[in-house]
Amino acid sequence: MTTATTAAAPHYVPAGLPQRIQHYIDGQFVDSIDGATFEVLDPVSNTTYVTAAAGQKADIDAAVAAATRAFVDGPWPRMKPRERARILNRIADAVEAQDAHLAEFETFDTGLPITQALGQAQRAAENFRFFADLIVAQSDDTYKVPGSQVNYVNRKPIGVAGLITPWNTPFMLESWKLAPALASGCTVVLKPAEFTPLSASLWAGIFEDAGLPQGVFNLVNGLGEEAGDALVKHPDVPLISFTGESRTGQLIFGNAAPMLKGLSMELGGKSPAVVFADADLDAAIDSTLFGVFSLNGERCTAGSRILVERPIYDEFLEKYSARASKIVVGDPHDPATEVGALVHPEHFDKVMSYVEIGKTEGRLLAGGGRPEGLPTGNYVAPTVFADVEPDARIFQEEIFGPVVAITPFDTDDEALELANGVRYGLAAYIWTNNLERAHTFSQRVEAGMVWLNSHNVRDLRTPFGGVKASGLGHEGGYRSIDFYTDQQAVHITLGHAHTPRFGAA
């Protein structure tokens, strides 16, 4: 195998790792009430580096009780937006000030390359700053019927928000829920992913220092089927924001249904990148490589299927696979690394099983296994399969690793049929210099988000979310605030009400 790798370095362990990871409930770090724990591995040595408290129903009950008290009695929901914004900006400052430390912890826990983890930490700060600005600028609807009525919207935080997050870029995705929930005046219980609890353990200190009142933020670690399940089923948690697999989303949807909870679901993807023959080929290659191999391919919006128009298919394959073979795989802490270690041996096994399936379904052009020369760790060489048929499992199923399926097409209609021919609908990337084609295709493609001649960059005011099995509802900008608040309509009649006078005859 010809994959480029970094020199095998001694296993790097960051300074200041906690002795154990606890919950944070009502302003205190605590263990599980029954003492339950689980072991956390680092993805390079695959050995246990810390023991974490495994939250059970009783721990969730305690966290929800604290969050409820902070909501009912506390100042947080009643503060002026500008006062809340001041605290959110202090949180952003603190995240920025320790971005290198955060990235180091995140890289150690997730296996993400350090340069990319640093970008994600900075984006977490940005999320807090963005929602601080948004609530200060927020204006709500007012309707005037001249001489008769004024109606206005009274926006109210809903209550205790349950936030359940995945392991792929944990700190950033936690911030993507924490920032708008807190900005809205909700109090929260966060249940981070069990593979990666390390960076979440830093939130409590950041929030305390920024002056967030006690009980507003609560953290319960633990397994999805235990802590996550108890949070979803808790009667005093009226809304759940979930990011994770579509299958888990379905389960949570069912469990939350009897209580008619508010749900926001950011789920899986199998997003197409469609490259037309008239595209800027070099730019398309840069973007489609980044699209599936950044964040180790563990990215919800990964462009994991590339559809290429026939006249440029061979040239695309040649250039793409040559570049993919040169991607540097190795020690996540090495700044030269482009693809690090996958999060966990279970996930590594899953991705490797798809690599083996791919060998029977497509033509292997790059990668195809674990690169040589790296002692331990969940490394997978960037893997490229060509000539993949639309009924192949590697075309249809989310792999969530550095594996891409490439398929040729002849017409716009065929490209559209291929793009839409999966159960997911998160993102689509379109490469063409034909304006009409770009917009027509965007209208018809089944995706919550479309990028035209661009990789995955966006303004935080835009809606973020998927269609079909990729999600329910949208977060991002004021849509996040809408999710965490009720919009109560207040109707005022000016002058005499002139109510029909029942019983007056």
Ligand X SMILES: NC(=O)c1ccc[n+]([C@@H]2O[C@H](COP(=O)([O-])OP(=O)(O)OC[C@H]3O[C@@H](n4cnc5c(N)ncnc54)[C@H](O)[C@@H]3O)[C@@H](O)[C@H]2O)c1
Ligand Y SMILES: O=C/C=C/C=C(\O)C(=O)O
Q: Which is nearer to ligand Y, 119 or 159 (CB)?
A: 119
- Nearby residues of 82 by Cβ (< 8 Å), 6 or more positions away: 136
> Residue 232 touches which of ligand Y, ligand X, none (CB < 5 to 8 A by kind)?
ligand X
Q: Which of 359, 301, 304, 297 is nearest to 327 (CA)?
A: 297
Instruction: Check residue 428 for interaction with ligand Y (CB under 6 A).
Output: no
The CB-of-265 to ligand X minimum distance in angstroms stands at 8
> Of 261, 299, 347, 455, which one interacts with ligand Y (CB under 6 A)?
299
> Residue 17 touches which of ligand Y, ligand X, none (CB < 5 to 8 A by kind)?
none
- Structural tokens at position 239: 């809304």
- Please answer whether residues 475 and 266 qualify as being in contact, where contact means their C-beta atoms are separated by less than 8 angstroms: yes
The CB-of-162 to ligand X minimum distance in angstroms stands at 9
> Of 32, 168, 196, 288, which one interacts with ligand Y (CB under 6 A)?
168
Q: Which is nearer to ligand X, 268 or 477 (CB)?
A: 268
Q: Where are the alpha helices (DSSP H) in 362-400?
A: 393-396
The single residue listed with the structure tokens 């493609």 is 445
Instruction: Check residue 300 for interaction with ligand Y (CB under 6 A).
Output: yes
Q: Which is nearer to ligand Y, 55 or 119 (CB)?
A: 119
3-class DSSP state for residue 308? strand
**Rounded-to-integer distance, Cα 267 and Cα 264, Å:** 10
The CB-of-327 to ligand Y minimum distance in angstroms stands at 19
CA-only gyration radius of the chain, Å: 24
Q: Which is nearer to ligand X, 238 or 408 (CB)?
A: 238
Q: Which of 47, 56, 63 is nearest to 224 (CA)?
A: 56
Task: At 220, give phi and psi (nearest 5°).
Answer: -125, 120
Bridge partners, 450 (sequence order): 428
Q: Which is nearer to ligand X, 68 or 301 (CB)?
A: 301
The CB-of-351 to ligand X minimum distance in angstroms stands at 12
- Amino acid, single-letter form, for residue 263: L
Q: Which of 411, 412, 410, 392 is nearest to 305 (CA)?
A: 392
**Rounded-to-integer distance, Cα 497 and Cα 505, Å:** 18
> x/- string (CB under 6 A) for ligand Y, residues 16-55?
----------------------------------------
The CB-of-174 to ligand Y minimum distance in angstroms stands at 12
Instruction: Check residue 447 for interaction with ligand Y (CB under 6 A).
Output: no
The single residue listed with the structure tokens 């097409």 is 409
Strands 187-191 vs 403-409: parallel, antiparallel or unpaired: unpaired
Instruction: Check residue 441 for interaction with ligand Y (CB under 6 A).
Output: no
Q: Which of 298, 318, 328 is nearest to 402 (CA)?
A: 298
Instruction: Check residue 165 for interaction with ligand Y (CB under 6 A).
Output: no
For the segment 170-189, give every residue that binds ligand Y (CB under 6 A). Answer: 176
> Residue 417 touches which of ligand Y, ligand X, none (CB < 5 to 8 A by kind)?
none
> Residue 176 touches which of ligand Y, ligand X, none (CB < 5 to 8 A by kind)?
ligand Y
Which residues in this chain contact ligand X in the complex, by CB under 6 A? 164-168, 173, 191, 193-194, 223-225, 228-229, 232, 243-245, 248, 251-252, 266-269, 300, 398, 400, 426, 466, 471
> Residue 426 touches which of ligand Y, ligand X, none (CB < 5 to 8 A by kind)?
ligand X
Nearest position to ligand Y, beta carbon: 300
- Structural tokens at position 11: 């296993």
One of 104, 106, 194, 266 is an active-site residue; which one? 266
Q: Is residue 414 annotated as part of the catalytic site, yes or no? A: no
Instruction: Check residue 155 for interaction with ligand Y (CB under 6 A).
Output: no
Helix (H) or strand (E) holding 307: strand 305-309
The CB-of-349 to ligand X minimum distance in angstroms stands at 13
> Residue 484 touches which of ligand Y, ligand X, none (CB < 5 to 8 A by kind)?
none
**Rounded-to-integer distance, Cα 401 and Cα 186, Å:** 35
The CB-of-172 to ligand X minimum distance in angstroms stands at 9
Residues in the chain: 505
The single residue listed with the structure tokens 């919009």 is 487
Provide the sign of the torsion angle of the four alpha carbons 31, 34, 35, 36, taken in this order: negative
> Of 187, 221, 301, 378, which one interacts with ligand Y (CB under 6 A)?
301
**Rounded-to-integer distance, Cα 450 and Cα 239, Å:** 28
The CB-of-413 to ligand Y minimum distance in angstroms stands at 30
Bridge partners, 149 (sequence order): 145, 493
Q: What residues act catalytically?
A: 266
Contacting residues toward ligand Y, per CB under 6 A? 168-169, 176, 299-301, 456, 458, 464
